[in-house]
């Protein structure tokens, strides 16, 4: 579900469903794209604590429909056991039984954090995509590097194949469109999948602001062994390049130089 063109501000997301405790989350929206993922329960592999990144969890067990899971829900479910009243049939099995009571009891005692980590990304409107002089566009549009809508074909102006001495270079300028550096933890670039012309060697140059100074960080693509604080970038099987800055930084410009496909 998407909400578009929302003015900047603080929003309360409320999700309710029959049998589920009401989920509410406050999201502060300022210029970027914000997303949360919610599941009907807790997923394996995550630590559901406030300081850990995890998806949101909807908890089942609200028998009386007041939005919360309390002892009164358990009492109501016990009263409804083996009855015709299916409002307490939490698993939808057609009867109210001990399995429903177990589900409710588990959630009644569960005090884990259910609030989803909010993920942010930068909309196309906040970046200016440009190719450098050494690079020509032979298919698609540069914006498609961000949207992935159409395949993008880039070649060295020299007409030679891509190499260290004949790279193709594209930059994403955030300062130009957004009028200020944009706080972000990373970005995803859409490049051709492995079946076509996958990027096999590239360098990502990040220009960012820290304590009023402009700094740069160079991230080789494909080397996943680097320490996290240096940032890392890798080519995914679908061809996209995922760049992780190793923390939130105020990004002015990102330049990617492809030296082999």
In the region spanning residues 6 to 65, those forming contacts with Ca ion, defined by CB under 5 A, are: 62, 64
Is residue 73 close enough to count as binding Ca ion by CB under 5 A?
A: yes
Q: 191-202 burial by CB neighbour count: b if 16+ within 10 A, else e?
A: bbeeeebbbebb
Cβ at position 75, least distance to Ca ion in Å: 10
Dihedral of CA atoms 221, 225, 231, 234 in degrees, nearest 10, equals 30
Cβ at position 57, least distance to Ca ion in Å: 17
Cβ at position 55, least distance to Ca ion in Å: 23
Contact 139, 151 (CB under 8 A): yes
Cβ at position 77, least distance to Ca ion in Å: 10
Nearest to 241 by CA among 230, 256, 252, 229: 256
Q: 63-90 burial by CB neighbour count: b if 16+ within 10 A, else e?
A: beeeeebeeebbebbeebeeeeeeebbb
Looking at 17, 49, 52, 66, which residue binds Ca ion (CB under 5 A)?
66
Nearest to 153 by CA among 131, 133, 124: 131
Cβ at position 93, least distance to Ca ion in Å: 20
The smaller minimum CB distance to Ca ion, of residues 73 and 89, is found at 73
Cβ at position 107, least distance to Ca ion in Å: 11
Specify the stretch interacting with Ca ion by CB under 5 A; choose among 73-81, 142-150, 160-168, 236-244. Answer: 73-81
Is residue 79 close enough to count as binding Ca ion by CB under 5 A?
A: no
The smaller minimum CB distance to Ca ion, of residues 74 and 201, is found at 74
The smaller minimum CB distance to Ca ion, of residues 62 and 100, is found at 62
Residue with tokens 């009891």: 105
The smaller minimum CB distance to Ca ion, of residues 64 and 183, is found at 64
Whole-number Å distance between alpha carbons of 104 and 65: 13
The smaller minimum CB distance to Ca ion, of residues 75 and 218, is found at 75
Whole-number Å distance between alpha carbons of 4 and 11: 13
- Which residues of the chain form contacts with Ca ion (CB under 5 A)? 62, 64, 66, 68, 73
């Amino acid at each position: 579900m998407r909400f578009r063109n929302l003015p900047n501000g603080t929003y309360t997301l409320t999700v309710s469903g029959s049998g589920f405790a009401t989920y509410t989350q406050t999201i502060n929206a300022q210029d970027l794209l914000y997303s949360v993922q919610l599941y009907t329960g807790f997923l394996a592999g995550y630590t559901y604590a406030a300081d850990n990144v995890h998806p949101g969890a909807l908890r089942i067990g609200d028998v009386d429909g007041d939005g919360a899971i309390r002892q009164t829900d358990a009492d109501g479910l016990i009263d409804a056991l083996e009855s015709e009243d299916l409002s307490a049939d939490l698993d939808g099995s057609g009867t109210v039984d001990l399995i429903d009571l177990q589900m409710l009891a588990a959630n009644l005692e569960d005090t884990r954090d259910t609030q989803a980590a909010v993920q942010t990304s930068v909309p196309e409107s906040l970046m200016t995509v440009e190719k450098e002089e050494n690079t020509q566009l032979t298919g698609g549009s540069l914006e498609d590097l961000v949207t992935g809508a159409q395949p993008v074909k880039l070649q060295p102006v020299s007409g030679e194949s891509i190499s260290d001495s004949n790279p193709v270079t594209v930059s994403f300028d955030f300062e130009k469109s957004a009028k200020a550096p944009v706080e972000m933890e990373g970005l995803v670039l859409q490049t051709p999948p492995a079946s076509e012309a996958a990027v096999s060697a590239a360098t990502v140059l990040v220009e960012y602001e820290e304590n009023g100074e402009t700094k740069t960080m160079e991230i080789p693509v494909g080397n996943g062994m680097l320490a996290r604080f240096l940032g890392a970038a890798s080519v995914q099987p679908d061809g996209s390049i995922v760049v992780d800055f190793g923390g939130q930084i105020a990004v002015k410009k990102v330049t990617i130089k492809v030296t082999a496909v």
